[in-house]
Amino acid sequence: MLLFTLLITLPACLWSLKVSPLIEKISDHKDFKKLLRTRNNVLILYSKSAAVAEHQLKLLSDVAEVVKGRSTVSWVDCGDTESRKLCKKLKVDPSSKPSGVELLHYKDGTFHTEYNRPETFKSILAFLRDPEGAPLWEEDREAKDVVHLDTEKEFRRLLKKEERPLLVMFYAPWCGVCKRMMPAFQQAATDLKGTYVLAGMNIHSPEYDRIKEEYSIKGYPTICYFEKGKYQFQFENYGATAKDIADWMKNPQPHQPEAPEVPWAEQDSSVHHLTDEDFDQFVKEHRSVLVMFHAPWCGHCKKMKPEYEQAAEVLHSSEDSPGVLAAVDATASKALAEKFHISGFPTLKYFENGEEKYTLPHLRTQKKIMDWMLNPEAPPPPEPTWEEKQTSVIHLIGEDFRESLKKKRHSLVMFYAPWCPHCKNAIPDFTSAADIFKEDRKIAYAAVDCTKEQNHDLCRQEGVEGYPTLNYYNYGKFMEKYRGERSESGFTGFMRSLREKDHGRVGKRKEEL
């Protein structure tokens, strides 16, 4: 009678187990190989029986709905007669796990890693979106006392109900300063537990634009202090220790801005400061004028300023001075900046008898300035830009980006800014790697200058947050971010691994035929 009851209830139990059609059930080795051959980001749930997998399957059904088209979720029931052989062949034994299930991830046709992060919708989703990315902040056990907010609704609810003083860190997962601050922030949350509340919220996505606008969030982290749900001011000590944060919470005070810097034009100096109104007249009245076009915020300008002033002082005190030094704030004198095509700072231009004669990028020290003014001559020709050089790198712009990449099986694209030091260091190696594969028509090493106006939208769409950003595309479709070494061997090794997989797939197909 007991056996009969089991036979009746077991099918009913399995019938009640609703599996999403987005979860691909695999039962034999041929289907398994096909799955890995055709998909590059696969999470497989192995279970010792269907019954023990019920919770995970419900959870993974929700995940599969969100990641469809980008990732694949599959299930192998090792308790099923047909699937048992597959599990044995793959040497997967979920019965050895206390839960009776095992989650394994496969990337680019091969086993990648065992999923050992929390089995929550948010954690699994974040993992599949970036299998090699850092865990979520809330997955850190040391951050258990930080209130982790997932939605704007949760944030508004917390403001409404929380009576205690509240400090919220709005952050982005890629932000280096945020990562450095998190240990101190979470330790402070533990130290202040019960009296104060510290919360964290990743608001990088566009869905949080309303919060960003409301609290003037222009960068990460932005840390806002609230009392009884009302915003007060920001905490701006981004190098704070846990004690610093705790002490501040006990006596919160708004940040005291530093005294504004006196504009260069108002400082006592031998440099002549010119504007749109008096520039033309000044260069006509002085036979030899060296002009520095600068911006108040420019770090290179500030570094050069003392050298420039010292040279101006020497020229001013000389009885037989070869000329004068002047400066133009190009952010204020926009007509001059446009007239002389000023696109970077500092830019030095030499004027003789009222006419522009040379642009001098190599003068940065007092000695070089003085030597050149005593013997003015044409500067060496400027070095051609990366785009101007004849290389095997394809330089793309927004309108032809996707169409160009669709013609290539494998494309590694560097999104860069010409002024970026890390980009400058990587460019020679990237160019060398492109030269190595120049005969392979299926491969492209491409570059996009994100400082060009026609590329602004493209770089934003492709998730460029900093320079350089390197993305891998398959026939124009984004596949993953390149996280390897920025060296010739790193760039070539990445591409060779892709080509080896191509050849392996061809070989397998021939064997199957």
Residues sharing a CB contact under 8 Å with residue 498, sequence separation 6 or more, in sequence order: 108, 410
User: Same structural domain for residues 153 and 232?
Assistant: yes
Residues 437 and 496 reside in one and the same domain = yes
Return d(Cα 322, Cα 287) in angstroms, integer: 9
* Residue environment code for 270-292, b if the CB has 16+ CB neighbours within 10 A, otherwise e: bbbbbeeeebeebbeebebbbbb
Is 461 domain-assigned?
Answer: yes
Using CB atoms within 10 Å of the CB of residue 499, give its burial: 0 to 12 exposed, 13 to 18 middle, 19+ buried.
Answer: middle
Domain end among 116, 133, 150: 133
Which listed residue (78, 87, 175, 224) is catalytic?
175
**Does residue 146 share a domain with residue 122?**
no
- Both 246 and 311 in one domain: the answer is no
Whether 119 and 146 share a structural domain: no
Total domains present in the chain: 4
The answer as to whether 2 is a domain residue is no
Name which of 11, 13, 103, 92 is nearest 59 in CA terms: 103
Q: How far apart are CA 36 and CA 42, in angstroms?
A: 8
Per-residue pLDDT at 122: 85
Q: Of 484, 502, 480, whose CA–CA distance to 493 is shortest?
A: 484
Residue 264 in domain: no
Same domain, 457 and 416: yes
- Single out the catalytic residue among 78, 87, 178, 423: 178
**299: CB partners within 8 A, 6+ apart:** none
The CATH number assigned to the domain holding 445 equals 3.40.30.10
- pTM comes to 0.46
Residues 38 and 60 in one domain: yes
β-strands 394-395, 443-449: how paired? Answer: parallel
Q: 303, 302, 317, 304: which is closest to 270 by C-alpha?
A: 317
Same domain as 327, residue 394? no
Sheet of strand 272-274, all strands in order from the earlier edge strand to the far edge: 272-274, 324-329, 288-294, 347-352, 355-359
The answer to whether residue 451 is domain-embedded is yes
Structural domain of residue 42, as residue ranges?
24-133
Based on the fold, state whether residues 123 and 145 are members of the same structural domain: no
Q: Are 206 and 227 members of one domain?
A: yes
pLDDT of residue 17: 52
Residues 128 and 147 in one domain: no
- Which of 250, 282, 304 is the endpoint of a domain? 250
| In-domain check, residue 458 | yes
Residue 292 inside a domain? The answer is yes
Residue 301 placed within a domain: yes
User: Domain check: are 366 and 405 in the same one?
Assistant: no
Residue 263 lies in a domain: no
Helix locations, 286-365, DSSP H: 299-317, 334-339
- Cα(445)–Cα(305) distance, integer angstroms: 40
**Residues 149, 206 contacting (CB under 8 angstroms):** no
pLDDT by position in tens, the chain (length 513): 444 444 444 444 443 456 788 899 999 999 999 999 888 899 999 999 999 999 999 999 999 988 888 899 999 999 988 899 999 999 999 998 889 999 999 988 889 889 988 888 888 988 898 887 778 888 888 899 999 998 999 999 999 999 999 999 999 887 878 888 999 999 999 999 999 999 999 998 888 999 999 999 988 899 999 999 999 999 999 889 999 999 999 999 998 776 777 889 999 999 999 999 999 999 999 999 999 999 998 888 999 999 999 999 999 998 889 999 999 999 999 999 999 988 788 999 999 999 999 999 888 899 999 999 999 998 877 788 899 999 999 999 987 898 899 999 999 999 999 888 889 999 999 999 999 999 999 999 999 999 888 898 899 888 888 889 999 999 988 888 898 899 999 999 999 999 888 766 545 444 444
From CA 340, how far away is CA 346, in angstroms rounded?
Answer: 13
The one catalytic residue among 301, 423, 450, 459: 301
Q: Of the candidates 68, 99, 133, which is a domain's last residue?
A: 133
Q: What stretches of 19-117 show up as alpha helix (H) in DSSP? A: 29-38, 54-67, 81-90
Distance CA 62, CA 20 (A): 8
Separation between Cα atoms, residue 412 and residue 425, nearest integer Å: 17
Q: Which pLDDT does position 372 carry in this prediction?
A: 94
Known catalytic membership, residue 175: yes
pLDDT value for 169:
97
